[in-house]
Amino acid sequence: MRAFTRNNSVVGLTTHIERFLLYIATERGLSAAYQLSVRQSLDAVVLWLESKNVSDWNEVGIEDLSHFLSGQKDGGMSASSLRISMVHLKIFFRRLAALQVIDADPAEPLLPPRAEQHLPETLNEPEVASILQAVDTDKLLGRRDLAILELFYASGLRLSELCNARLENMDLDEGFIRVTGKGNKTRIVPVGGKAREALRNYLKNERPELVKSKTSSWVFLSVRGGSLSPERVRELVKQRARNAGIEKNVYPHLLRHSFATHLLQNGADLRVIQDMLGHADIATTQIYTHVDQKGLKSMHQKFHPRG
């Protein structure tokens, strides 16, 4: 059994932490917030090592670090926080090894935990239909708001893409709109029949009333004749959903998720959905296959006699 004296062990362990923090502050120029995050990670390790009667960094092995991280996980730490803690351990022990404080780097073999996969929320088709049907186009801005909602759902646009949409980039006869997405990448996205109908109605019967002397070619205009801000679009989407009696938190990206999920559920190819969403990597689009599988499982449990 290892000899252990609390005060000596803590002093021995924390001395190197203080030196390391000084190093990343002065030589690496890392922020105070980052230093605090590192300190919290390393202080947690010290407390755990105390409980295991470990009094020297040279006594720490890969098994010790693995057990420490497992305990953090069991205590409710998220995968993202575990990854951060592991990075702190790796840079700390790499520094100790470089200074020959320890004989070997025990953190080098550590593998990062798998990233948590959060499935996107979606609306089902009746919920989307109820939101669209609840918009009264005879009331002020009804035509505009319906066109916005229809375009979000028909084309899966990002909020910024919709706010920046311009008349010269839209061809309703052909049913396409050109948008600029992440990374300043341009793509052409189809616009469905219902969305084209709503857009034509808005462009003919409501947008002209919103135009002012300095109005540019934004598709969607505010009451002052300028472009709509992202905050205003989020607000009107939420309000239109509340008007339809939808209790979920409805926001623009939820309509984008619903667009992709409903396409997949109705048989669209994943690569086609990737192109329409403007995802650079197919792995990003594959999240919707998990949503679809979740829906299939739910349907099986609901309707199969032994589900």
Q: Catalytic annotation on 143?
A: no
Which residue of the set 158, 207, 257, 262 is catalytic? 158
Q: Catalytic annotation on 158?
A: yes
Both tokens of 193, joined, read 């029949």
Give the model's pLDDT for residue 5.
38
How many residues can be counted in the chain? 307
Nearest to 86 by CA among 55, 54, 58, 113: 113
Global confidence as pTM? 0.60
Q: Catalytic annotation on 279?
A: yes
Domains 6-98 and 125-303 agree in fold: no
Which residue of the set 182, 185, 224, 271 is catalytic? 182
Mean pLDDT of 126-131: 96
Output 112 or 162, whichever has higher pLDDT: 162
pLDDT per residue as tens digits for the range 166-224: 999 999 999 999 999 887 889 999 999 999 999 999 999 999 999 999 999 999 999 99
If you classify domain 6-98 with CATH, what class do you get?
Answer: mainly alpha
pLDDT per residue as tens digits for the range 48-93: 998 988 889 999 999 999 999 999 988 888 888 888 999 999 999 9
Encode burial over 254-269: b for 16+ CB neighbours within 10 A, e otherwise: bbbbbbbbbbbbeeee
CA distance 50 to 212: 71
Q: What is the mean pLDDT of the chain?
A: 87
CATH fold of 125-303 reads: hpI Integrase; Chain A (1.10.443)
Domain boundaries, the chain: 6-98, 125-303
